[in-house]
Structure 1
């Protein structure tokens, strides 16, 4: 048996760098949002559109990044998209108005989209099954560290050097991820340029959307991980404007979320000595459901404070870390031939859900009400979707088992 072109360690390193690009670009930025309201003499709603633009580019470009990665290869596609991300970051550094900043954030999101798509695709290419789930868990551990530090770094940077400096950090981060892609990422597939034909792209996405196993797994992931993208649009205005934290304090307060995600990822790795990745999903969903109920009730029963908001978010984050590794690979399992597009569609659901949730939160207007209703609703949907996923997966396994059974052959009649 031929060894994979990249070792487990190398695959983990490359996938971690790529998948961290999007969340880190978001986490570095959120502490600067209240200052941007003053810098551009605008309103919080307008500044939120800069984050919405980033989400929109990040989400919809997934649908392009997947076919590009399947057609032109993982490595070359990554380098092109990283160049786009760096250009968007440079434009944001020198943005003279909120309109230009919004456009720059859109370009950033388009470039960052390749990270989520390729990181999952290379794991699926090289290490399918439980081994891939364990790699995704390790990616989750490393992923938790970067966003955990990013709000604190972003908050201190805003306090010391202003909001422009945050985008300088993003330029440097983009150059670092680009260097990893250039020197460490190896091509994991044989590129098929015919995969970029519009008819094949549409057919592949239609196949994914018609598959109940893929669709339900993607909804679980979307309402689990998508919560973090939704919270990025809401928490700065809850914790800074309502609770009264400074940008630096806000940055450190996000350790509740990212720190518990890290703790959950480490716990998952320890539990793998005794249970399978699939068995960790249900405990994770129980924590997600519990965190949802607490977040819906605590701010109103006990008052809005750092603890009544972030302790329920911590439970939710711990639960996501337990269920994520298996569910991330589960939906892609039936589609090794279009892993890039399967990864892209999952990412689109994940980020698109965060975008929609953030937009609804902006429409509601009251940030505390937004957090206390939208986030719990996403938790309930994640739990419900998993129940449907179990039925779809069991049906698919029965069909595959029946298809693999040998057809009995009647003995030839005696002469």
Structure 2
């Protein structure tokens, strides 16, 4: 999971290098070449036969969405990702307005990528000592505070790149730690249907990321790029809070139900 964070740094660096040495069409030609390279190994894959799992066949996407634990954790995952994608959409406009070249814009993604990796591997170490449900509330608070700080930086007159990147890198650390926790918690109720649950989870995540990017690109001509981008990021904090309350509500409900059953059995 932490290595996924390398793409936001490597892709802009490669893109800026292509822009310096070639035209913008070279970017799409490179994407096509990478796609072909990734498709070719499919022809050498050997078909495998697995025992049919009837419990997975009977589980629909609607059944998955009935679980508040699943919905809540997926919403947290998608909202945190959407905040990141909102920045990826708006940052080229923000930094271009500040006078930075494509090469510098590409390099600006390196610190946040390092921060994401720190969060991911730091979470892995922390999970050796604490449970994910103990860490998650603190990480969500860190995410919310960092996003609010990034949004507040938009009101600073002549704000510098460093002043924007510091709170954003804190958000990247929080995201890197949040992702593995909420993904594991979302899939835990469906051990026999992890493939289907993961597919729906990724679809919802990418859908919300697309929506956040769409809103940023739509509103960026109306207001300043920085304020537009950070305002969309700020809206994801509300979704994160909603997701946490959703999954927490089911967790508390299950505990209360279990305590009631114990009390009932003891009374008899």
TM-score between the two structures when normalised by the length of structure 1:
0.56
Out of 250, 253, 260, which is 1:392 matched to? 250
- Aligned residue in 2 for 1:228: 84
Out of 342, 351, 370, which is 2:228 matched to? 370
Query: Helix, strand or coil: the match of 2:131?
Result: coil
Q: Partners in 2 of 1:381 and 1:188 — Cα distance?
A: 41
- Aligned residue in 2 for 1:237: 93
Out of 127, 133, 158, which is 2:19 matched to? 158
CA spacing shift, 1:256–1:180, aligned 2, 3 Å: farther
Please tell me whether the aligned partners of residues 299 and 305 of structure 1 are also in contact (alpha carbons under 8 angstroms).
Answer: no
Q: Partners in 1 of 2:4 and 2:85 — Cα distance?
A: 14
Residues 220-256 of structure 1, C-alpha deviations (whole Å, 9 max, x = no match): 111112222222221111112x112111111110113
Residues 291-341 of structure 1, C-alpha deviations (whole Å, 9 max, x = no match): 111112112124343123322221111111111111012112222343233
Does residue 356 of the first structure (1) align with residue 217 of the second (2)?
Answer: no
Does residue 263 of the first structure (1) align with residue 118 of the second (2)?
Answer: yes
Does residue 315 of the first structure (1) align with residue 170 of the second (2)?
Answer: yes
Out of 62, 71, 91, which is 1:215 matched to? 71
Name whichever of 274-283 and 173-182 sits farther off: 173-182
Query: Helix, strand or coil: the match of 1:274?
Result: coil
Residues 270-289 of structure 1, C-alpha deviations (whole Å, 9 max, x = no match): 32332233333223212211
TM-score between the two structures when normalised by the length of structure 2:
0.83
- Aligned residue in 2 for 1:250: 105
Q: Partners in 2 of 1:256 and 1:380 — Cα distance?
A: 26
Q: Partners in 1 of 2:238 and 2:49 — Cα distance?
A: 37
Q: Partners in 2 of 1:236 and 1:348 — Cα distance?
A: 26
Please tell me whether the aligned partners of residues 332 and 342 of structure 1 are also in contact (alpha carbons under 8 angstroms).
Answer: yes
CA spacing shift, 1:276–1:232, aligned 2, 3 Å: same
Please tell me whether the aligned partners of residues 132 and 181 of structure 2 are also in contact (alpha carbons under 8 angstroms).
Answer: yes
Structure 2: unaligned runs, 5 residues or longer: none
Q: Partners in 2 of 1:215 and 1:387 — Cα distance?
A: 11
Q: Partners in 2 of 1:334 and 1:288 — Cα distance?
A: 25
CA spacing shift, 1:301–1:401, aligned 2, 3 Å: same
Please tell me whether the aligned partners of residues 292 and 377 of structure 1 are also in contact (alpha carbons under 8 angstroms).
Answer: no
Query: Helix, strand or coil: the match of 1:245?
Result: coil
Cα distance, 1:266 vs structure 2: 2.1
CA spacing shift, 1:358–1:144, aligned 2, 3 Å: closer
CA spacing shift, 1:177–1:387, aligned 2, 3 Å: same
Q: Partners in 2 of 1:267 and 1:283 — Cα distance?
A: 14
CA spacing shift, 1:339–1:274, aligned 2, 3 Å: closer
Please tell me whether the aligned partners of residues 80 and 175 of structure 2 are also in contact (alpha carbons under 8 angstroms).
Answer: yes
Out of 114, 118, 128, which is 1:273 matched to? 128
Residues 80-110 of structure 1, C-alpha deviations (whole Å, 9 max, x = no match): xxxxxxxxxxxxxxxxxxxxxxxxxxxxxxx
Name whichever of 277-286 and 146-155 sits farther off: 277-286
Q: CA RMSD in A?
A: 3.3
Q: Partners in 2 of 1:359 and 1:305 — Cα distance?
A: 26
